[in-house]
Amino acid sequence: MKEIVKFSKKHLCNGSFRLNDEEISNFNPDVDIQYISTGSLYGETTIYGKIIRIGGEDPKIHFRINDIDKIIFDVNEELAKKLSPRLYEFIGLIGKAEWNAEKFNIEKFEITNIVDIEDKSIFETFEDIRGLIGKYWDEIEDVETYIN
């Protein structure tokens, strides 16, 4: 909401939120919303990417999630040694995360487990997904309409 209101003020425009063609809320450049800073959120998650740097005197991992984002977090020496042969491999890391509640970026991460990712084609991957969840869609005649 903060970004939408900021955009509205900057460009002097009105906007609305709609659900099933019904307006449920609207805003204009004069709308002022009070925000409560929620601090941090905590929970377990899995992040996917590749280790692009690991180690140091106080061991850290630089973990590239996509072309833009990377996370840097502390690890102990034992874990750094265990993960160092995985440098530049695409892997998943399961762990406990602390997110900035306003920006939704991970600020701290503690690894609890490592997920090996198989290098497969997109077609093989979708076949695997179909094998796992396909049975739940078998009785639906028009899946695209159902999803929409």
Sorted by where each starts, the structural domains of the chain and their CATH numbers stand as 1-35 (no CATH), 46-148 (2.40.50)
Encoded tokens for 66: 């996509």
Encoded tokens for 57: 């005197």
Distances (CA, A) of 122 to 97, 117, 127, 142, 148: 29, 13, 9, 23, 23
CA angle 74, 109, 116 (to 5 degrees): 95
pTM above 0.85, yes or no: no
Count of other CB atoms within 10 angstroms of residue 60: 15
Encoded tokens for 41: 């959120």
Question: Going residue by residue through the chain (148 aa), what tens digit of pLDDT does each one get?
Answer: 777 878 888 888 888 888 888 888 888 888 777 766 678 889 999 999 999 999 999 999 999 999 888 999 999 999 999 999 999 999 999 999 999 888 888 989 999 999 988 878 888 888 888 888 888 888 888 888 888 8
Count of other CB atoms within 10 angstroms of residue 73: 19
Decide if 28 contacts 14 (C-beta within 8 A). yes
Query: Can you say how many angstroms the Cα of residue 94 is from the centroid of all Cα atoms in its chain?
Result: 13
